[in-house]
Amino acid sequence: QKEVEQNSGPLSVPEGAIASLNCTYSDRGSQSFFWYRQYSGKSPELIMFIYSNGDKEDGRFTAQLNKASQYVSLLIRDSQPSDSATYLCAVTSNYQLIWGAGTKLIIKP
Amino acid sequence: DVKVTQSSRYLVKRTGEKVFLECVQDMDHENMFWYRQDPGLGLRLIYFSYDVKMKEKGDIPEGYSVSREKKERFSLILESASTNQTSMYLCASSQGLAGTNEQFFGPGTRLTVL
CA distances in angstroms from B73 to B52, B64, B85, B102, listed in the order given: 9, 17, 22, 18
- Residue B98, pLDDT score: 62
CA distances in angstroms from B62 to A60, B22, B65, listed in the order given: 42, 18, 8
Cβ density class A29-64: b for 16+ within 10 Å, e for less: ebebbbbbbbeeeebbebbbbbeeeeeeeeeebbbb
Round to whole Å and give the CA distance between B40 and B78. 23
Round to whole Å and give the CA distance between A87 and A77. 15
pLDDT tens-digit map of B4-32: 999 999 999 999 999 999 999 999 999 99
CB contacts < 8 A, A to B, total 47
The percentage of chain B sitting over the pLDDT mark of 90, rounded to a whole number, equals: 86
pLDDT tens-digit map of A17-42: 999 999 999 999 888 999 999 999 89
Of B66, B58, B62, nearest in space to B82 by CA: B62
Q: Which residue has the higher pLDDT, B97 or B85?
A: B85
Residues 6+ apart with CB under 8 A from B22: B6, B7, B73, B75
Binned at pLDDT 50, 70 and 90, residue B96 comes out as confident
CB-CB under 8 Å, A34 with B43:
no
Of A65, A74, A59, A86, nearest in space to A18 by CA: A74
- Residue A95, pLDDT score: 75
pLDDT tens-digit map of B33-70: 999 999 888 899 999 999 998 999 999 999 999 999 99
Binned at pLDDT 50, 70 and 90, residue B2 comes out as low
Q: Which residue has the higher pLDDT, A64 or B95?
A: A64
Of A35, A20, A16, nearest in space to A105 by CA: A20
Mutant choice from A7, A92, A96 vs B, greatest count of B C-beta within 10 A: A96
Round to whole Å and give the CA distance between A63 and A57. 6
A7 neighbors A102 (Cβ within 8 angstroms): no
- Residue A61, pLDDT score: 97
Round to whole Å and give the CA distance between B68 and B70. 6
Q: How many Å lie between the alpha carbon of A55 and the closest alpha carbon of chain B? A: 19
CA distances in angstroms from B46 to B19, B32, B60, B64, B111, listed in the order given: 15, 11, 5, 8, 15
pLDDT tens-digit map of A45-88: 999 999 989 999 999 999 999 999 999 999 999 999 999 999 99
Of B44, B97, B106, the CB nearest to A95: B97
